Structure 1
Amino acid sequence: MLEQVQRVPGSFPAVSAVVVEGDATRLLYVNGEAHAGTGVRADHATLFYVASQTKSFMGLLAAQLDAEGVLPLDTTLAGIWPDLHLPAPADPAAITLADLLSHQEPLTTETLNHLTAYVRTVPATDYPDLLAHYTEVRKPGFRYSNLGDLIYGAALQVRTGRSWQDWLHDEVLQPLGLADALTATSTVAPRRLAWNHQWDGERWRALPPKPDALMHAAGGLALSADDMARWMRVNLARLSPSGTPTTASFERVQRPIVHADLADHEIDCDGYSLGWYSCGYRGERVLMHPGSYPGVVSVTVLLPTRHAGLSLVINSDSAIEGLELETIKAFIGLSTGKDGEDARLRRIVIDYPARLAKLVKRRGDAIATARADARWAGFAWRPSLRELDAHAGVFESPRLGTLRVERDGDALVAILGAQRLRLQPAAAGLFAAWPQTLDPPEEFRYDAARDAIDWDGDRFARKARSRGAAPPQSPARSTR
Structure 2
Amino acid sequence: MPETRRRIVQLALLAGLVPIRTALAGSRRSLADEADALVRPYARAGLFSGAVIVARDGVVLFRQAYGAANREWDVANTPDTRFRIASLSKQFTAAAILKLQEAGQTGLDDPVSRHMPGLPAGWAPITVRMLLDHRSGLPNVTALADYDSTIARVARQPMEVVGRLFGEALLFPAGSAQEYSNTGYILLGAVIERLTGESFAEALHGLVLGPAGLSRTGDADPERIVPRRAVGYHRVAGQWRNATPVTAAAALGAGGLVSTVDDLAAWDRAMLGGRVLGPAAMAELVKDEGYGYGLGLYLGLAYGARLWSHGGFLHGFSAIKDTYPDLGLTIVVLGNTETTPAQTLSRRLGALVLGQPEATGIVVPPNVLERYAGSYRTGRRSILRLTRAGDGLVAQGTDLPRLVLAPESDRVFVGGDGTRIALDIEPDGRATGLLLDAPGQTRAGPRIDSRTARRISTRRLARAIQP
TM norm structure 1 = 0.63
- Please, which of 171, 180, 185 is the counterpart of residue 207 of structure 2? 171
Alignment of 1:50-65 (within 5 A): 50-65=85-100
| Aligned equivalent of 2:63 | 28
- Please, which of 362, 371, 385 is the counterpart of residue 431 of structure 2? 362
Q: Which amino acid aligns with 2:135?
A: Q
1:326 pairs with 2:347: no
- The alignment partner of 1:26 has SS state of strand
Conservation of the 8 A alpha-carbon contact between 2:142 and 2:182:
no
**Alpha-carbon distance in 2 for matches of 1:95, 1:84:** 10
1:133 pairs with 2:202: no
| Aligned equivalent of 1:97 | 128
| Aligned equivalent of 2:137 | 106
| Aligned equivalent of 1:442 | none
**Alpha-carbon distance in 1 for matches of 2:183, 2:325:** 29
Q: C-alpha displacement at 1:316, in angstroms?
A: 0.9
Conservation of the 8 A alpha-carbon contact between 1:36 and 1:206:
no
- The alignment partner of 2:433 has SS state of helix
- The alignment partner of 1:332 has SS state of helix
| Aligned equivalent of 1:147 | 183
Change (3 A) 1:363 1:332: same
Higher mean alpha-carbon deviation, 277-286 vs 44-53, is at: 277-286
Change (3 A) 1:186 1:128: closer
Conservation of the 8 A alpha-carbon contact between 1:22 and 1:308:
yes
**Alpha-carbon distance in 2 for matches of 1:98, 1:59:** 9
Alignment of 1:49-448 (within 5 A): 49-81=84-116, 84-86=119-121, 90-92=122-124, 94-110=125-141, 114=147, 118-121=152-155, 123=157, 126=160, 130-138=164-172, 140-185=176-221, 189=225, 192-200=228-236, 202-207=238-243, 210-235=246-271, 237-240=272-275, 244-256=276-288, 258-260=289-291, 271-318=292-339, 320=340, 323-339=341-357, 353-356=419-422, 362-364=431-433
Q: Which amino acid aligns with 1:309?
A: T
Q: C-alpha displacement at 1:165, in angstroms?
A: 2.0
Q: C-alpha displacement at 1:217, in angstroms?
A: 1.3
Conservation of the 8 A alpha-carbon contact between 1:183 and 1:222:
yes
RMSD: 3.5
**Alpha-carbon distance in 1 for matches of 2:166, 2:249:** 23
Change (3 A) 1:126 1:68: same
Q: Which runs of 5+ in 1 are unaligned?
A: 261-270, 373-480
TM norm structure 2 = 0.65
Q: C-alpha displacement at 1:213, in angstroms?
A: 4.7
Q: C-alpha displacement at 1:326, in angstroms?
A: 2.7
Can you list the C-alpha shifts for 1:343-394, whole angstroms capped at 9, x where unaligned?
x99x96967643326879932399756xx9xxxxxxxxxxxxxxxxxxxxxx
Q: C-alpha displacement at 1:5, in angstroms?
A: 1.7
Q: How many pairs were matched up?
A: 346
**Alpha-carbon distance in 2 for matches of 1:201, 1:28:** 33
Higher mean alpha-carbon deviation, 115-124 vs 23-32, is at: 115-124
Higher mean alpha-carbon deviation, 209-218 vs 306-315, is at: 209-218
**Alpha-carbon distance in 1 for matches of 2:166, 2:324:** 41
| Aligned equivalent of 1:42 | 77
Q: Which amino acid aligns with 1:362?
A: A
| Aligned equivalent of 2:6 | none
Q: Which amino acid aligns with 1:39?
A: D
**Alpha-carbon distance in 2 for matches of 1:38, 1:305:** 43
